[in-house]
Structure 1
Amino acid sequence: MTTVDNVFAALADPRRRELLELIAEHGEATATTLAERFPISRQAVVKHLGVLDSAGLVTANRVGREVRYAVRTEAMDTTARWMAERAATWDRRLAHIKRLAEAME
Structure 2
Amino acid sequence: MRVFLGFAIFLIIAAAIFPFVLMRGINLVTPYKTQTILYRSIEDPDVTIEFQMKDVGGRGYLKRVVQIEPGFFWDRATGVDLEAVDQSQWRRVDEDVNEHGLKW
Q: Tell me the TM-score range normalised by the shorter chain.
A: under 0.3
TM-score of the aligned structures, taking structure 2 as reference length: 0.23
Larger radius of gyration: 2
Higher strand share: 2
Q: Which has the higher helix share?
A: 1
| Higher relative contact order (CA closer than 8 Å, sequence separation 6+) | 1
